[in-house]
Chains A and B, each alone.
Chain A
Amino acid sequence: MSIDATSRSALDDDRLRGLLQQVTARLMEKRAAAVAEVPEWEDLRERARAIKRATLASLDGYLIEFETHVTERGGQVHWAADGADACRIVEKIAAANHVRRVVKSKSMVSEEIGLNAFLEQAGLKAVETDFGEYIIQVAGERPSHIIAPAIHKSRADVGRLFAQKLKIGYTDDPEALAAHARVALRGEFCAAQMGISGANFGVAATGTIVIVENEGNARLTTTLPPVHVVLMGIEKLVPSVGDLGVFLTLLPRNATGQAMTSYVSFITGPRRPDERSGPGQLHVVLIDNGRIRMLADPIMRDVLMCIRCGACQNTCPVYGHIGGHSYGGVYAGPIGSLLGPALEPRTSPPDLPFVSTLCGACAEVCPVKIDIPGALLYLRWRAMTGATEKVLPHRRLQRVMMRAWAGAMAGPRRYGVASRLMAIALRLLARGGVRRLPRPFHGWTEIRDFPAPPGRSFRRDLKRGRDERSK
């Protein structure tokens, strides 16, 4: 289904759009203030981009280095070619450790591979412990924003949801709702035999996993249960601990406007013999799931630099009106329109690369300066020309029309004839302005008038002597 269709219910939902605009605007304001505090901000973006580019250019070597160091510290690395593979690996680890209950901290890649549904089928109870993700899980929905998964829910929505599903008295007090979740989740943390987390960064030189969060739930998820499983896309690596200074400055400021998040965890290996607590096992599942294909493509390779800060979603006017669910996949907004086709090619709506005005607001805030509009244009080119995929029938027709248009524009005489024909057609349709255009242009007049053709074009005016004052 096209996003024109899937977004219409969101566009009719004033409550949803109010929430989206309110939260994204607040995040953008906080971001602007946090960025202004760092005079070298632009240099940091350049530096981050350079580090990511260099790492991706030699990713094979860094992955092996990472694996070596994780293994040396007593961890285990698993390689997953796709989502199903990754899910099976997690299930196997669970089975080997007689795991029945799992706690999870927020991870987009876990959403991408559909882990929760898979574990449920395998008879495992996995509980999301990030408050936003917990809300989403209780509601049986999908996250609609990379860092604010429940952005589409107001506190009243959450109050009603908890009252209905968790049988507690209705309240819309955020403190009370969070307190309820906290009590429920403490029990889960203590009972879980396995904790699953994502990773913001993996350090190749040390095998360290870095997790950035505000609620402390990731810290608990990765320290309390006896087994810790890390899910990470292969693009998450940076070469050395020294590189983190750049990213740990950029990420929180760009995402939430914080100088630093409440918790930044560095996890290097499982519990050591001299340590009294911590998981006895550390498993790192390195996930390809389309990333190597992106790496092989000079344009899409840059998209792998994304550090999932969500700023492009906050600033995108399209996202601000239609929300994450309208995009039909795990990743929404500008970056989602690039990641969807690459990482979820079977399920992502085929018109994702087209649902952008190419306004460029996203690229302006991207911490690693991904040319998002440029990459969208590239995906449009692929979709229209069949460079890498089959061309859909309606696109064939659009291409034929574009070819005819280009033919008409390819010389002044053709242009003159075509413009006169168009003017005649429009005049037939016009009453003051054109209130209704025929297919396939009807989208224009659904919400606005089309200009009635003027008496003559500018060039015909010139030809008749008006304005010919200097030539």
Chain B
Amino acid sequence: MRVSIFVTCLVDQFHPEVGHAMLAVLDRLGIQYDFPRRQTCCGQPAFNTGCVEEAARVARQFVTSFAESEIIVAPSGSCIDMVKAHVPSLFAAGSPQRQQAERVAARAHEFSDFLVNVAKVTDVGGRFPHRLTYHDSCHLLRGLGIREEPRALLAQVRDAQIVELPASDTCCGFGGTFAVRYPAISGEMGREKLRRAVQTGAEYLVACDTGCLMHLRGMIAREALPLRALHLAEVLAAQ
């Protein structure tokens, strides 16, 4: 099995440690990977803003970058949801580009989905002696239907104490450009999410989407909360 890493633009630019953590887990499992160098972004920022043409331009870049990949793995539920649910529709029905996009979409997996359902592992040999709680990112949960996979992976992490987050499936308020357009609303949603996380007594809030994490980390820093937000890959990579 050889996987192609789609690191996503946010991880590439702002949180490379998440990409490295993902590779560390793959290394530990002995899974071969490559990094298609033409990759940039899936086009979601444009698509969610209504700029379909611009999204299509970026999506084309994505599809051609991964055209030869057998399995595509990304540390982001919302990017994979974009790839699966929307990218094919950006190309004319029946066109070769559409067919290529559909092939690529069928091979794309979010990281936890890949580990549990493709690589068939839940114990990746991680050790993380802390109290954790997990936030369900919207597109991962409702778009891709991934709910149990991250929990199953966390359950196998040695010395980690997992507590369920009340209303874990309520949106954290990120929403892409929503976070910039409606900072006051986004902030209240984030504050509520973080208040609940702090109330669980967890030291770490874990999620599978860098968008949510950027928003939540930014709020934690601004409000100096006694909590840290981590990507699932970072928890799994820790030993």
**Interface residues, chain A, with chain B CB atoms under 8 Å away:** 3-4, 7-8, 11, 17, 317-318, 321-322, 351, 353-361, 363-364, 377, 379-385, 398-399, 402-403, 405-407, 409-412, 415, 419, 422-423, 432-433, 435, 440-444, 446-451, 453-454, 456-459, 461-462, 466-467, 469-471
In-complex Cβ contact of A406 among B7, B20, B55, B184 (8 A): B55
Q: Are A444 and B16 in contact (CB under 8 A)?
A: no
The reply to whether A381 and B52 form a contact with Cβ atoms under 8 Å apart is: yes
Known: A357-B171, A458-B11. Contact between A383 and B50, CB under 8 A?
A: yes
Could you tell me the distance between the alpha carbons of A451 and B60 in the complex, rounded to whole angstroms?
28
Contacts of A361 in B (CB 8 A): 138, 142, 169-171
Is A470 within 8 A of B33, CB to CB? yes
Over the window 5-48 of chain B, the binary record of Cβ atoms lying under 8 Å from chain A Cβ atoms (1 yes, 0 no) is 00101011111110110010001000011110111110101111
Q: Is the CB of A412 within 8 A of B46?
A: no
B7 neighbours in A (Cβ, 8 Å): 458-459
Q: What is the distance, in angstroms, from B219's C-beta to the closest C-beta of chain A?
A: 4
Contact B183 A406 (CB under 8 A): no
State the CA gap A403–B169 with chains docked (Å). 33
Are B15 and A454 in contact (CB-based, < 8 A)?
yes
- Bound Cα distance A355, B179 (Å): 10
30 A-B contacts, Cβ less than 8 Å apart? A3-B182, A7-B184, A318-B189, A321-B188, A321-B189, A354-B181, A355-B178, A357-B175, A358-B48, A363-B142, A377-B50, A381-B50, A384-B50, A384-B51, A409-B57, A422-B13, A443-B182, A447-B184, A448-B218, A449-B217, A450-B218, A454-B14, A457-B12, A458-B7, A458-B19, A459-B35, A459-B37, A461-B20, A467-B20, A471-B33
Indicate if B87 sits at the interface (CB-CB under 8 A).
Answer: no
Residues B49 and A358 in contact, CB atoms below 8 Å apart: no
A-B CB contacts (within 8 Å), total count: 212
Cross-interface CB contact of B174 among A3, A357, A433, A461, cutoff 8 Å? A357
Closest Cβ of chain A to B75, distance in Å, is 10
Bitwise interface map of B from 200 to 226 toward A, beta carbon under 8 Å scored 1, else 0: 000000000000001101110110000
**Interchain CA distance A471-B23 in the complex, whole Å:** 12
CB distance from B81 to the nearest CB of A (A): 10
Contact present for B170 and A317 (CB under 8 Å): yes
Knowing A364-B142, A410-B58, say if A449 contacts B218 (CB, 8 Å): yes
Q: Is B92 an interface residue (CB 8 A)?
A: no
Which residues of chain A come closer than 8 Å to B221, judged between CB atoms?
432-433, 448-449
Closest chain A CB from B178 CB (angstroms): 5
* Contact partners of B176 in chain A: CB under 8 A: 357-358
Interface presence of B180 (CB below 8 A): yes
Q: Which of B154-170 contact A (CB under 8 A)?
A: 169-170
Which residues of chain B come closer than 8 Å to A412, judged between CB atoms? Answer: 37-40
Chain B residues whose C-beta falls within 8 Å of the C-beta of A467 in the assembled complex: 20, 23
- Residue contact A444 to B188, C-beta cutoff 8 Å: no
A443 with B180: in contact, given A360-B142, A410-B57 (CB under 8 Å)? yes
Give the most central of B170, B176, B185, B190: most A CB within 10 Å. Answer: B185
14 additional A-B residue pairs with CB within 8 Å, beyond A357-B178, A361-B169, A454-B17: A4-B182, A318-B185, A322-B185, A355-B182, A361-B142, A364-B142, A377-B47, A377-B50, A399-B54, A409-B40, A409-B57, A415-B40, A446-B187, A454-B14
